[in-house]
Amino acid sequence: MISSGASDSILCAFSHFLSLVEANYHESNPYHNAVHAADVTQSMHCLLQETEIYNATSDLEKMIALVAALTHDLDHPGVNNAFLMITENHLATLYEVNNFWIAEHLSTGEPLL
**Rounded mean pLDDT of the chain?**
86
Residue 1: its pLDDT value, please?
A: 42
Residue 93: its pLDDT value, please?
A: 73
Q: Can you tell me the distance from the alpha carbon of 83 to that of 66, in angstroms, rounded to the nearest whole number?
A: 29
Confidence of residue 98 (pLDDT cuts 50, 70, 90): low
Numbered residues of the known binding site: 36, 72-73
**Among 97, 28, 105, 95, CA closest to 70:** 105
**Structural contact between residues 98 and 81, judged by C-beta atoms closer than 8 angstroms:** yes
Residue 94: its pLDDT value, please?
A: 75
Q: Can you tell me the distance from the alpha carbon of 113 to that of 99, in angstroms, rounded to the nearest whole number?
A: 22
pTM, rounded to two decimals: 0.77
pLDDT in tens, 11-54: 899 899 999 999 999 999 999 999 999 999 999 999 999 999 99
Numbered residues of the known binding site for Zn(2+): 36, 72-73
**Structural contact between residues 22 and 29, judged by C-beta atoms closer than 8 angstroms:** no
Q: Pick the catalytic residue from 32, 45, 76, 90.
A: 32
Q: Can you tell me the distance from the alpha carbon of 97 to that of 93, in angstroms, rounded to the nearest whole number?
A: 9
| Residue 29 neighbours by CB under 8 Å, 6+ apart | 76, 77, 78
pLDDT in tens, 42-77: 999 999 999 999 999 999 999 999 999 999 999 888
Is residue 6 predicted with pLDDT exceeding 50?
Answer: yes
* 45 tagged catalytic: no
- Which one has a higher pLDDT value, 104 or 51? 51
